[in-house]
A and B are shown apart, each in its own frame.
Chain A
Amino acid sequence: MANRQQTIYLDNAATTMVALEVCEAMLPFLGESYGNSTTLYHLGSAAQQAAETARQQVAGLLGAEKEEEIYFTSGGTESDNWAIISSVLGQKKRHLVISSIEHHAVLETCEDLAKLGLEIDFTALPVDVEGRVNPEELRRALRPDTALVSIMHANNEIGTVEPIRELAEIAHEQGVLFHTDAVQTAGKIPVDVKELGVDMLSLSGHKFHAPKGTGALYLRKGTRLNAFMHGGGHERNRRSGTVNIPGVVGLGKAAELAGEWLESEMPRLKQLTEKLWTGIAAAIPQVTRNSPVEGSLPGMLNVTVAGAEGEAMLMYLDMHHGICISSGSACTTGSLDPSHVLLAIGVPAETAHGSLRFSMSHYTTEAEIDTTIAAMSVEIEKVRAMSPTWDG
């Protein structure tokens, strides 16, 4: 039966383990220090103090000029929704520009806005075979009524890093606000808001070892953005709702750790990714790499396997080896279509169903990569042996 003795977790782009240090930092705020940060007595000020420390830690990770530029949210999805919806509703301009490979938190938000009957529309820029937006395409797409450009820092399925600085400059030349979804990059590669030149940036704590339900929106000082959550006026009237103190403390600690780990982790994960790729490519015929070799997230590898379906492969890898990965097959996207990202970079639908994504973290070891390569070779042979379309 299922081998549950080992877990090899290679789905860190989906979520990550909470770091022990993060857990420890949070504990007092799940126990005795349970105050509401807006109250005046000692329990309240302890909570407020903790939130402000966390704000500094997040601001530090992002190179933000002032910690007041950080607004705590419930995660990447809320930050993306807030940035997009409030940007367009807060201006007379009614046009949005995104890329065609955005996360659904951006894509679906724009699609929904376009259906509201407010004459809002959006342009989804194409990408090249590596998943990169051509800055010239952005220049052409901008209109006098463009309210916001929102392009992800790195793609969540293939790992391509977008030329954000260049794209933001083009938007700013036309006086258009620029937002980036940095959910996959914060804590993984350097994310410096001044260097990138963005007005807004979304991040999610659980992608870098903070708990789920934590996140932030960076809002450059002086940028006008209406509140999205209304209520008691928390977060300087911009994001109401009692501050999730334990979560925020965890987010801050995770940001601090990620900043410390970044320099040594980037080359290590890059090396593990290349090891995984060369191992798979040597052991298994007809596997294609969808993640770019250069300009991509260290630690992410997306491949397509000819003659095999993604869900079946990932289920056998889990069942027999305890390996946790994800796939862009229709079965795992929850729709009838395979990944919109793979289709956008030109992968045919029939091969996109055979895609697998591996994503590593600080806790990934070389031995786990060796085991994964060996397991892939065994399971793919089995899946292909069952396939009517595979003749070896």
Chain B
Amino acid sequence: MYSDKVMEHFENPRNIGEVENPDGTGNVGNPVCGDVMKVTIRVEDGRLAEIKCKTLGCGAAIATSSITTEMAMGMTLDEAMALTRDDIAQALGGLPSNKMHCSNLAVDGLHEAIADYRSHNS
């Protein structure tokens, strides 16, 4: 059902946890739907210097969280804001269609964390 890339990220998820004293935090998902993510970031010189994610969810949720943190690391905030769910799914070699909307939330969490950072630093 899952691609090798999804399985690889699921088995070894990157950047799990929370950034200490984060510059921005994004909380997305809903326990009733089964997927909840908390993305925390540290910003340095307008770039993402540290991204961490905590995830409650299925295999796809964990894998998308992992690869999102990996892909966005070092990006400018604008570049990270331009990332889409499709970009994440593509980087994972595709996701089952029923997972595209409920589990592919990490990029939304990242965007929310950036918006949170910007609301304090505008």
Who on chain B is nearest to A311 by CB?
B58
Chain A residues whose C-beta falls within 8 Å of the C-beta of B32 in the assembled complex: 349-350
Chain B residues whose C-beta falls within 8 Å of the C-beta of A310 in the assembled complex: 58
The answer on a CB contact under 8 Å between A388 and B54 is yes
Query: Could you list 23 examples of A-B contacts with CB < 8 Å?
Result: A309-B34, A309-B57, A309-B61, A311-B59, A312-B62, A315-B59, A330-B34, A331-B58, A336-B33, A349-B31, A349-B32, A349-B34, A350-B32, A353-B34, A386-B54, A387-B36, A387-B55, A388-B36, A388-B38, A388-B55, A389-B31, A389-B56, A390-B56
Chain B residues whose C-beta falls within 8 Å of the C-beta of A308 in the assembled complex: 56
Compute how far the CA of A353 lies from the CA of B103 in the bound complex, rounded to whole angstroms: 13
Chain B residues whose C-beta falls within 8 Å of the C-beta of A330 in the assembled complex: 33-34, 102
The answer to whether A322 has its CB under 8 Å from any CB of chain B is no
Range, interface on chain A: 20 to 34
Q: Give B residues with C-beta under 8 Å from A.
A: 7, 10-11, 13, 16, 27, 31-38, 54-62, 98-99, 102-103
Smallest CB-CB A-B distances: 7 pairs: A350-B31, A353-B34, A388-B38, A311-B58, A331-B58, A388-B54, A387-B56
Compute how far the CA of A307 lies from the CA of B57 in the bound complex, rounded to whole angstroms: 10
Contact of B56 among A1, A336, A388 (CB under 8 A): A388
The answer on a CB contact under 8 Å between A386 and B13 is yes
The answer to whether A334 has its CB under 8 Å from any CB of chain B is yes
The answer to whether A77 has its CB under 8 Å from any CB of chain B is no
Who on chain A is nearest to B13 by CB?
A386
Chain B residues whose C-beta falls within 8 Å of the C-beta of A338 in the assembled complex: 34
The answer on a CB contact under 8 Å between A388 and B37 is yes
Contact of A309 among B11, B38, B58, B98 (CB under 8 A): B58
The answer on a CB contact under 8 Å between A388 and B98 is no
Chain B residues whose C-beta falls within 8 Å of the C-beta of A334 in the assembled complex: 98
The answer on a CB contact under 8 Å between B56 and A329 is no
Contact of A331 among B10, B31, B103 (CB under 8 A): B103
Closest chain-B Cβ to A12's Cβ sits at a distance in Å of 21
The answer to whether A20 has its CB under 8 Å from any CB of chain B is no
Chain B residues whose C-beta falls within 8 Å of the C-beta of A336 in the assembled complex: 33, 98, 102
Closest chain-A Cβ to B22's Cβ sits at a distance in Å of 13
